[in-house]
Structure 1
């Protein structure tokens, strides 16, 4: 026995120089009987003969003792993967890949063979932490995307969409198969589709950042303006992909449009002095920005109109889109005092109507406007009284056709802003217009009605007197009569026209 045991120890001592940690425990108490140099280096230099519970108290507390008992009792090998072991000297923990097998020469025991896998475990855990960090950053980025309501997408070097955050599909109703590649362009406004694609292709060719604004049809069918930003991702100087975002900017776009429209209205009104020219310029501002067609009617007799008398409206300006027939710019309409038009003017508030294409309300609008709305297949109209210095000076009608969304509350509010924004200019033009009309009335009152003669046509005309200090030529009277004879050769035989006295 002694010789055999000596042979066993000689055999075990052969493991002393190996880089693999080797140890042997004997008996049911698993007393430490052998350790090689690698074991003592990685695990610790524990005294031989001590039970495992004392030599490996920390590891035994983690369940290692039960595993030793199992191997000794059954003879079936066991293993531990990435088993943490407290290193000697209080250094950082080491990780061992441990194999346990029954040692049956002489007294039965457990042979321990362990390989140090600390570097592999540390590297794997470092990679795992990096992966988790990337996943955390990705979730954080997605949360930021949700908070900012942005649509994030990725495209290949040629510009074909390959990845999506999923928001585009929820906004537009497109499936991923419909969206990918160039499918996103199918939900752009028809007027924006080709220009946007051309701009995107040119951007990909030049490999430069892209900023573009286009209209996108949402799931509910409404078109809204979206800002798109995209940037190339380079590796070794070559574009490997594109990353982009789309953001709904309809509210900001509308605000910019309102500001620009008001600025154009102020500039247009400032360039005119006469009332008709000013309203014509404002109608051109409203079309096509707000409406497809617009008409302006002056209401000169509204204040002095006798009770029960019809309302006389003089059309002084019209405007329409290039592809829509324009109403005649001048004309006259009469409305009964109980008509819808008269009630709308009396209320001094805008009236808004939507209707089937080409079927506008009849008594609310001038006949010529109704005819135009019918022919243009309009679907909505606004009648807006324009109040200048507390008096309804004009009525403006604005309409849209079926190829655009009907006029809505925001459009009506903006129309009101246009006329409020130009009130001072309109006030000056109205005063000038009224002064001019008053002067004409005074001039007419100075003229007496000419007598009626069978063979003469008589007309009374007004001629302004010459300026003080200038040489008077011709008549200096402020009024004169022009006589035009109905010529008959029987009246003055032998004379020719014109008579010598003319």
Structure 2
């Protein structure tokens, strides 16, 4: 069988498979060999950027280590990593990367690999992991223990910080006059390494108007902050100060509803330049918090 015929068959095969096939030269230049597949949806670095810039900030350190190990040992790489979507600086998809080294006649090593969309696969596995981690919640002795389990389930994989505030609903208790924001006491928290500790709350701490609306409507709210951090209105002063110090990019406010009554508010933040959560990842976290 001649080389030209083999090449035609190979090209036909590459055009039929759902994976994108790529090659990386010894100099680090990536070339997509087959059109179609996930590569069409991903951001392509320009001349002044590296392909590593396309990787999610949370994944860069470990992925760089894995890649360097593969190149140093000339060994295959098989992993799932978040890669930036074209046209959006804060949207990423999980992509399965499989790569193998190929040594040319001069002894130089290049890598040939495939990239496959793994978003649905990742979500399915993450749901299973969350369900396993949350299995202890129904057996919790009280809400505080349930909150601790919930926070530990999502930090740091899905969020950088989780703070859960028990709502002191004075309106229902007949203590607070109508129209006064609900007060809250800080419950269990989960913080990713490197984040500042949450400040203690005063006895008269009240939630901001955005959180108040989330409690009253019993609907989750997703706030995405501008590059200079959260605005000064809408959230409590204490919250704004901490979010700015932590470099927060967004926060989700999730009411915890028990028997038709909001008993707590979960605040789930992304920080340190990590892209804000999306509504899809919110669903994966299980933002349906009714019991």
Q: Same fold (TM over 0.5)?
A: yes
Q: In the alignment, which residue of structure 1 is the partner of 2:289?
A: 419
CA–CA separation in structure 2 for the residues paired with 1:152 and 1:278: 46
1:186·1:193 contact (CA, 8 Å) conserved in 2? Answer: no
1:227 Cα deviation after fit: 1.9
Deviations 1:153-185 (A, max 9, x none): 3778xx97797505569844247x999xxx755
Report the TM-score, using the length of structure 2 for normalisation.
0.74
Between 1 and 2, higher relative CO (CA 8 Å, sep ≥ 6) is seen in 2
State how 1:97-112 maps to structure 2 within 5 Å.
Answer: none
1:149 Cα deviation after fit: 3.6
Matched, 1:245 2:114: yes
Matched, 1:410 2:270: no
Greater helix content: 1
Alpha-carbon spacing, 1:218–1:151, altered in 2? closer, same or farther (3 Å) = farther
Matched, 1:139 2:6: no
Alpha-carbon spacing, 1:297–1:248, altered in 2? closer, same or farther (3 Å) = same
Aligned length: 277
Q: In the alignment, which residue of structure 1 is the partner of 2:81?
A: 214
State how 1:207-356 maps to structure 2 within 5 Å.
Answer: 209-220=76-87, 221=89, 222-231=91-100, 243-267=112-136, 269=137, 272-301=140-169, 303-305=172-174, 307-308=177-178, 310=180, 311-328=182-199, 332-335=203-206, 339-356=209-226
1:278 Cα deviation after fit: 2.0
1:347 Cα deviation after fit: 1.0
Alpha-carbon spacing, 1:192–1:418, altered in 2? closer, same or farther (3 Å) = farther
Alpha-carbon spacing, 1:312–1:229, altered in 2? closer, same or farther (3 Å) = closer
Q: In the alignment, which residue of structure 1 is the partner of 2:33?
A: 165
CA–CA separation in structure 2 for the residues paired with 1:223 and 1:392: 33
CA–CA separation in structure 2 for the residues paired with 1:154 and 1:334: 55
The alignment partner of 2:6 has SS state of: helix
Q: Which runs of 5+ in 1 are unaligned?
A: 1-126, 424-502
Matched, 1:191 2:61: yes
1:279 Cα deviation after fit: 0.9
CA–CA separation in structure 1 for the residues paired with 2:157 and 2:31: 37
Deviations 1:17-43 (A, max 9, x none): xxxxxxxxxxxxxxxxxxxxxxxxxxx
Deviations 1:243-265 (A, max 9, x none): 43222323322332233123212
1:144 Cα deviation after fit: 1.4
CA–CA separation in structure 1 for the residues paired with 2:42 and 2:248: 30
Deviations 1:357-398 (A, max 9, x none): 3334534x4443233113223232222211112211111112
Alpha-carbon spacing, 1:228–1:266, altered in 2? closer, same or farther (3 Å) = same
The alignment partner of 2:174 has SS state of: coil
RMSD of the TM alignment (CA)?
3.9
From the CA coordinates, give the structure whose radius of gyration is larger: 1
Alpha-carbon spacing, 1:332–1:223, altered in 2? closer, same or farther (3 Å) = same
2:123·2:284 contact (CA, 8 Å) conserved in 1? Answer: no
1:324 Cα deviation after fit: 0.8
1:195 Cα deviation after fit: 1.3
State how 1:70-109 maps to structure 2 within 5 Å.
Answer: none
CA–CA separation in structure 2 for the residues paired with 1:386 and 1:224: 29
2:85·2:92 contact (CA, 8 Å) conserved in 1? Answer: yes
1:203·1:210 contact (CA, 8 Å) conserved in 2? Answer: no
